[in-house]
Amino acid sequence: MGRWEPGARERLVVAAVELFTEQGYDDTTVAQIAERAGVTKSTFFRHFPDKRELLVAGQESLSTLLAEGIAEASAGTSALDSVASGLERASALMGPANRDLGPRIREAVAASVELQERDALKSVGMAAAMTRALLARGEAEPVAHLAAEMGVLAFKQGYARWAEADRGDDDTLAPYTLAALQDLRAAASALG
């Protein structure tokens, strides 16, 4: 595969996940990732500053889509219904490649403290983006923070269920994240 062929970023992510799963994060080098992806090391560094960033590729886009979905929710919509709009919008970003990588990414993250820390920062970034969008809609600060955190949890739970579910022809992420948010709503109401 030539180094200028399209899809280098995606190939780098897939190669990294494969290598992290096969030999561990610490034992995987940038050179190995680039070789497996069929690109040069300099191409790797054009896309990513280091190997830690591979597993959070797309985080900024995801946070933006969540915030845009919240901002575009109808006036008078509750905080959690606004979060549901954000989850629907962000789900459009997720395709079959994301679904197939999910279990392998989770395995790689579970095996590395460094990746666990990076994954936690991703969650913080998503929550911050949703909180800002909810505050811009006029939600009270505690409500905005709580709804955003529930949104992050719903996204994570929905994604995990989607990645492990039987494959259907039209199976998209949105129903899974929205069902997870509904489950969280029910759990919150049971808190009393």
pLDDT score, position 79: 97
Closest among 28, 59, 60 to 44, alpha carbons compared:
28
In this predicted structure, what is the pLDDT of residue 127?
96
Two structure tokens written together for 156: 């994570």
Over 50: is that where the pLDDT of 126 sits?
yes
Q: What is the pTM of this model?
A: 0.82
Residue-range domains of the chain with CATH: 8-53 (1.10.10.60), 58-189 (1.10.357.10)
Strands (E), 9-159: none
What's the N-to-C CA distance of the chain in angstroms?
59
* pLDDT of 5 strictly over 70: no
112: Cβ contacts below 8 Å, ≥ 6 apart: 20, 24, 25, 26
Q: Residue 71 — pLDDT band, cuts 50, 70, 90?
A: very high
pLDDT at 3: 45
Average pLDDT, the chain: 89
On the 0-12 / 13-18 / 19+ scale of CB atoms within 10 A, 30 is middle
Instruction: Kindly indicate the confidence band of residue 2, based on its pLDDT and cuts at 50, 70 and 90.
Output: very low
Q: What pLDDT was estimated at residue 170?
A: 61
Closest CA to 88 of 175, 183, 182: 175
Between 130 and 14, the more confident residue is: 130
pLDDT at residue number 102: 78
| pLDDT at residue 90, as a whole number | 92
* Span 64-72, average pLDDT: 95
What pLDDT digit, counting tens, does each position of 29-53 carry? Answer: 999 999 999 999 999 999 999 888 8
